[in-house]
Structure 1
């Protein structure tokens, strides 16, 4: 479903082998979060979505773990940014801004809303109602940063 959906919007993206259950469970364990169903379903088809230059539209599970841990633990950021523990990053805009879900409490992501974190002013702004809307909006230019 996800591959076909993305291809219907853009032929300029390719896919990896599906993520394993272990890879998805590791993300959840390392970040203490329950992965949103829509993102988990995408990972069951492909471990990330990449353009012709291998830039990710959707990060791989390993990049999600690595980058979320970096932002949560990099001590210098605690002086200039609000905490990142309530954000679950899964993509970037290529300019330093990151796309994320909002984690409410106890590692739960209640809503499918997508936000963009602005690295210059530390704002967190709503951009889409779901992963599907985010992908379409970003690929068609309806969402910009």
Structure 2
């Protein structure tokens, strides 16, 4: 599905798919199922690189590791609002992270600004986010 719908904007090779075991580990460890669109993408490619080398979609292992780190690092608790509602899955290469707000359940993609702790809507769905990121002309395409 994703290869066909994004074939016109993907410039590099597709990565091998994530394993079902890796996705199960993410869901079990984070205590929630992955959003359907993200799960289906990861089953086609375990992460995606953007036009400037940024990981616009992280591999399943990094999704797990980074989300656990954001939720458990003591220094983050004093610096930022809680990360529990967010499921981070990619970045812009400059520090900002992209996430689903799991409590919304609408599949929209949001950005977390690492300097201000601001969180804002980037795209109504994963497909729109990917098209924007892959067709961008810089790391701040979403602003």
TM-score, normalised by the number of residues in structure 1: 0.88
Residue 8 (structure 2) pairs with residue 5 (structure 1): no
Partner residue in 2 for 1:34: 33
Contact 1:14–1:50 under 8 Å retained in 2: no
In structure 2, relative to structure 1, the CA distance for the partners of 1:53 and 1:115 (3 Å cut) is: closer
RMSD between aligned residues = 1.8
In structure 2, relative to structure 1, the CA distance for the partners of 1:51 and 1:118 (3 Å cut) is: closer
Matches within 5 A, 1:1-145: 1-11=1-11, 13-51=12-50, 55-104=54-103, 110-141=105-136, 143-145=141-143
In structure 2, relative to structure 1, the CA distance for the partners of 1:69 and 1:131 (3 Å cut) is: same
Contact 2:90–2:97 under 8 Å retained in 1: yes
Structure 1: gaps spanning 5 or more residues: none
Post-superposition shift, 1:34? 1.1
Post-superposition shift, 1:112? 0.7
TM-score, normalised by the number of residues in structure 2: 0.89
Contact 2:86–2:99 under 8 Å retained in 1: yes
Moved over 6 A (4+): none
Q: Secondary structure at the match of 2:7?
A: helix
Post-superposition shift, 1:51? 4.7
Contact 1:31–1:65 under 8 Å retained in 2: yes
Q: What is the total number of aligned residue pairs between the two structures?
A: 140
